[in-house]
A and B are shown apart, each in its own frame.
Chain A
Amino acid sequence: MTEQTTPVPERAVPIWVQIIVWILLSGLLVLVALGLKNAQNPIIRVGSEVPDFNLTLFEGYTYEGSPVVSLSALHGKVVVLNFWASWCKPCEQEAAELEEVWRSYAEVDAEVVFLGVAWTDTPANSLEYLQKFEVTYPNGPDLGSRISAVFNRNLGVPETYLIDKEGILRAVKIGPFASNAEIKSFINPLLSE
């Protein structure tokens, strides 16, 4: 934008103008590159560490007495993080199964935690959905869309992320689970590590 005003009779572009032009141009290009890197999806690949996040739970849900769960506090446990929404039909297919599998693990005190995250859902509808499927494991809204932002730019529901005892993302399931056995087949290998 500045070239036009440079006094014309000069034969060459002054060196400082050249420097500014190149800095501006490379700045813009770096921005494009960073943007491209940012736009990459999935955000975390299987095998990399999951950044910490906090899940504020719905009223009536607590985890070990606290209304907030953070991933870092779950070290040493396998985490099954399920994104869902009350308006999502495929989510209903797996809701009962997830709860059933969760109870079966809870009975034997297995080192696994189920977390449900309601994505782009309204609180009243979420609670109604949780009641309908009698979900007992900790559930909370994706406040500020901050949790989904950790995993996937273009999240759809349902989506389930499996995090191992060391906090490493180990598997991703896009779409609903077909059966209890399928859910367990994801969890068991991680439990036995």
Chain B
Amino acid sequence: MKRYPLISLLVLILALGITGTVLAQDVRPTDDEVNAIAKQLYCPVCENTPLDVCPTEACREWREQIRAMLAEGKSEEEIKQFFVEYYGARVLSEPPRQGFNWVIYIVPPLVILAGAGILFMGLRKWVTPDDPGHDRGAKEAPGTADEENEYLARIEKELLGKD
């Protein structure tokens, strides 16, 4: 669903390229085409609310700007670029991937990896397998009834606190 506006936009641009500007005046981009782009932008007037649903007058005009640019045959990228140049990087829904902003893209995966690494090392250090006899005991009781009994014993044990 989300891709359709994009595709129709591409088709539109192609069509415009072929038939020239005469047609451009007839083709008024629909609200859905406008919103598909507006959804990805934020205006400073309503903090943290996506442009497609912000009810203020300023945002309504921003949407009209998107519509006008679509009608001119501008691509989604070009429109976003215009908004960034005109109003600053904060209109984008996430920081542009450049300079210091890379921090926010690199740190989370690093933290996940580092955390997983620490956890792995910790587990390796702390895990001291039980005496093998116990383990064999478990292997030798494959039947369902025994399994249930074992489970029951565990539950009762846990409930009564006899660890």
Binary flags per residue of A132-151, CB closer than 8 Å to B gives 1, else 0 = 00000000011111100100
**Residue total for A at the interface (Cβ-Cβ under 8 A):** 21
Q: Which of B119-160 contact A (CB under 8 A)?
A: 121-122, 125
B88: Cβ under 8 A from any A Cβ: yes
Taking CB atoms, residues of chain B closer than 8 Å to A85 are: 58
Contact across chains for A120 and B87 when beta carbons are under 8 A apart: yes
Taking CB atoms, residues of chain B closer than 8 Å to A143 are: 85-86
Which residue of the partner chain, among B62, B68, B86, contacts A141 with CB atoms under 8 Å?
B86
Contact across chains for A144 and B64 when beta carbons are under 8 A apart: no
Contact across chains for B85 and A121 when beta carbons are under 8 A apart: no
Given A1-B115, A5-B122, A120-B44, check contact A144 B61 (CB 8 Å). no
A87: Cβ under 8 A from any B Cβ: yes
In the assembly, what is the distance between CA of A149 and CA of B44, in Å? 12
A125: Cβ under 8 A from any B Cβ: yes
B15: Cβ under 8 A from any A Cβ: no
In the assembly, what is the distance between CA of A1 and CA of B114, in Å? 11
Contact across chains for B88 and A145 when beta carbons are under 8 A apart: yes
Q: For residue B125, which residue of chain A has the nearest CB?
A: A7
Given A5-B118, A5-B121, A85-B58, check contact A124 B88 (CB 8 Å). no
State the Cβ distance, B60 to closest chain A Cβ, in Å. 8
Taking CB atoms, residues of chain A closer than 8 Å to B58 are: 85, 87, 120-121
Which residue of the partner chain, among B65, B89, B121, B122, contacts A124 with CB atoms under 8 Å?
B65
In the assembly, what is the distance between CA of A145 and CA of B154, in Å? 65
In the assembly, what is the distance between CA of A85 and CA of B88, in Å? 16
Taking CB atoms, residues of chain B closer than 8 Å to A2 are: 118
Taking CB atoms, residues of chain A closer than 8 Å to B88 are: 144-146, 149
Contact across chains for A120 and B118 when beta carbons are under 8 A apart: no
Q: Which of B16-67 contact A (CB under 8 A)?
A: 43-45, 57-58, 60-62, 64-65
State the Cβ distance, A186 to closest chain B Cβ, in Å. 27
Q: For residue A122, which residue of chain B has the nearest CB?
A: B65
B74: Cβ under 8 A from any A Cβ: no
Contact across chains for B43 and A120 when beta carbons are under 8 A apart: yes
In the assembly, what is the distance between CA of A101 and CA of B64, in Å? 33
In the assembly, what is the distance between CA of A169 and CA of B140, in Å? 86
Taking CB atoms, residues of chain B closer than 8 Å to A142 are: 87
A86: Cβ under 8 A from any B Cβ: yes
Q: List 29 A-B contacts (CB under 8 A).
A: A2-B118, A4-B122, A5-B121, A5-B122, A7-B125, A86-B61, A87-B57, A87-B58, A87-B60, A120-B44, A120-B45, A120-B58, A120-B62, A120-B87, A122-B61, A122-B62, A122-B65, A123-B86, A124-B68, A125-B61, A141-B86, A142-B87, A144-B86, A144-B88, A145-B44, A145-B88, A145-B90, A146-B88, A149-B88
Residues of A in contact with B (beta carbons under 8 Å apart): 1-2, 4-5, 7, 85-87, 120-125, 141-146, 149
